[in-house]
Amino acid sequence: MTIFSHHRAAAAAVLLSFLPGPSAARLAAATDKPQAPHVVHSPTGTTEVGLLNGTPYRIDVPEGWNHSLVIFYHGYAEHPTSFNIADRVIDQQQVFLDRHFAIAQSAYSQTGWALQQAFPETETLRRYFAKAYDAPQDTYAVGLSMGGLLVSITLELNPKPYLGGLDVCGSVGPTSESFERRFALRAAFDHYFPDMLPPLLATPPFFDDSPAQQDKLLAALHANPPAAAALRGLMALHTDADVAHDISYFTYVVGDMQRRSGGNPFDNRNFVYTGANPSSSAADYELNDKVRRYAASPQARAYLTRYYTPSGHLGRPMLAVHTVYDPIVPVWSVALYNHIVESAGAAQNLVQQYVDRDGHCNLTNQQIGSAFDELQRWTHNGLRPTPGLLK
């Protein structure tokens, strides 16, 4: 048996063990009836909202449904997601309804880096949809940001129900890579601006990642141009506003992961800082010598690794589309995931494209629709998209 087929043989067990305890029970109860479903029929189609095992969900079936389904994964949320039957879907989802696909989406039972909850709860929703609305002919996974990572997780661990996946601005690759980088950069901020933010090992619950907090950080950056320039270089960011936003956001997500893992899962002792000054290494020498170093808790580190370190064994085609400049999820994360997929022998199932735009998930509806059309041609006709610029 090859390594690849061995991975496939173990996939069912991984699917059920991805979450211990109640999560496995929720997945096993996938065919349970929803609690208090609210269904509205209109000339444009059918919308249903309700609770599945206590988790909010929404289903939209357009008039003229093509009997195919998009499972939609939303991204990282600092506040609970809710669904109102009277609300329209967000613009980035409308492109799928316009193509006569139904959309099913879970709110996830927890906020933050909710991979542990989102993956099985969305599988529960997929199974419920197949029972309530008839099994779809084709099913695709689509996700933005953290949802893009959930697309890759789905196609690695549970590919059989799907034809393929569209990852939009996804934080794919090992969680440890992206989160540890964020932790290390927060430590660098503390070196230049000591005592402005809570200690890295004691981030308070529900840290105030608000515009007011970001304005406070931005004012400090403006007051210290050399330190601001160093941070822009280290973080590969264009503006002080991007630095302020990211440092506030990184503080929130570090605290989120520390609470989830029951300790500190991050270690910057082997992190070498570079880029503080593009014309001289002196600033890097000074930062590396003086920045505070932290060790990870082994138990917490194990949680970080579990949720999630990709295998690269993509079982279905995945098209990943990213902006060239993304201040939150750098585009190099997709390149790193590509190396993992190549090493796993699944390179034929991954294509990366980009758009000439700035910002996190800042693709137009037309671009998302074009990418989805390319994915369909790939899965139905074998026309593999051309890597590079999304046309």
Confidence band for 11, pLDDT divided at 50, 70 and 90: very low
312: tokens are 């690269």
Could you tell me the strand order of the sheet in which 350-358 lies?
Answer: 35-42, 45-52, 55-62, 102-106, 68-73, 138-144, 164-168, 318-325, 350-358, 388-389
Q: What is the mean pLDDT of residues 277-299?
A: 97
**Is the per-residue pLDDT at 28 higher than 70?**
no
Distance of alpha carbon 242 from alpha carbon 387, whole angstroms: 28
**Is the per-residue pLDDT at 321 higher than 70?**
yes
pLDDT tens figures, 122-172 = 999 999 999 999 899 999 999 999 999 999 999 999 999 999 999 999 999
Mean pLDDT over all residues of the chain? 92
pLDDT tens figures, 259-270 = 999 999 999 999
**Is the per-residue pLDDT at 293 higher than 70?**
yes
Q: What is the pLDDT of residue 363?
A: 96
The full set of domains in the chain, from first to last, is: 3-174+317-389 (3.40.50.1820), 178-305 (no CATH)
The residue type at 200? L
Confidence band for 10, pLDDT divided at 50, 70 and 90: very low
Distance of alpha carbon 157 from alpha carbon 7, whole angstroms: 9
Confidence band for 203, pLDDT divided at 50, 70 and 90: confident
Q: Is the peptide bond before 308 cis (omega within 30 degrees of 0)?
A: yes
**Is the per-residue pLDDT at 297 higher than 90?**
yes
Q: What is the pLDDT of residue 17?
A: 52
pTM of the full predicted structure?
0.92
Q: What is the mean pLDDT of residues 369-380?
A: 98
Q: What is the mean pLDDT of residues 304-328?
A: 97
Q: What is the pLDDT of residue 91?
A: 85
Distance of alpha carbon 276 from alpha carbon 283, whole angstroms: 6
Instruction: Among 111-120, 305-314, 327-336, name the one with the lowest average pLDDT.
Output: 327-336
Q: What is the mean pLDDT of residues 197-220?
A: 92
Matching residue, tokens 């996938």: 30
